[in-house]
Amino acid sequence: MPVLPGAEPFRHEGGEVGVLLCHGFTGSPQSLRPWARYLAERGLTVALPLLPGHGTRWEDLQITGWQDWYAEVDRELRALRERCAYVFVAGLSMGGALALRLAARHGDAVAGVVVVNPAGKVHGLSAYALPVARHLVRTTKGITSDIAKEGVVELGYDRVPLHAAHSLRTFFRRLDVELPQVTQPLLVLRSPQDHVVPPADAARILGRVSSLDVTEVLLEQSYHVATLDHDADRVFEESFAFIGRIAPSVGKEGTAAGG
């Protein structure tokens, strides 16, 4: 299937500091493209892949699982490591969970982690029904476009395929066990008014990681997709400052040293 206009992956060859951005479940790179461009304009090498099953039609997501999504970002991380001295991982919602697993499994190969409204659990009674319900019902209503800013729309599916949702639940349970292996500096940007991911998810993540350098920033004016919302500029600025604090080659003038 052709990729939906706007859902294409984004890549930029910059300096020796690289950033891997991971989009959310049923979403697409469109939700993170302004963030990716902001970092690219400041000289960073940026990779924003399209996860398998996303950016086309929900039927394509139905036949994929968390192993496919994780394998894609794992490949991108390894490619960045080949040409960058420092690599940071970042993500929105499920993309934040993928970033955390990359940090847990790759250790020192990851310099730092930035997550925006990270998801860590499928909530409610529906989560317990998924193992059976996915064989009876194909989809449920979509979760995209939780945005306070008027007129802004997230490009994603209007349906959630239940086979994929079941796989996502399995991934979250696996990640929860691995979170103590996350030791890197961590920046968590969280919207108190999030209608997709409850505050308990970020609290659980913060309580289980082993990182000693942890910063939490509240995004008071935004809903779940904060990267397209009123606080988008703050997300971009806070993440760039975080990267610059850890990677010495990010210069004071906002450009990364070539390499």
Q: Annotated active-site positions, please?
A: 93, 194, 224
Nearest to residue 76, comparing CAs of 54, 57, 95? 95
What is the secondary structure of 178-211 as a DSSP string?
Answer: HGGG--S-EEEEE-SS-SSS-HHHHHHHHHH---
| Separation of alpha carbons 96 and 44, rounded Å | 20
Q: Quick one: which H or E segment has residue 19? A: strand 17-22
The letter for the amino acid at 138 is: R
Q: How far apart are the first and last CA of the chain?
A: 37
Side-chain half-sphere of 120: how many Cα atoms within 13 Å?
A: 23
Judge whether 239 and 114 are in contact, CB under 8 Å: yes
Side-chain half-sphere of 205: how many Cα atoms within 13 Å?
A: 35
From residue 96, give the alpha-carbon distance in Å to each of 11, 34, 166: 19, 17, 18
Classify 214 as helix, strand or coil. strand
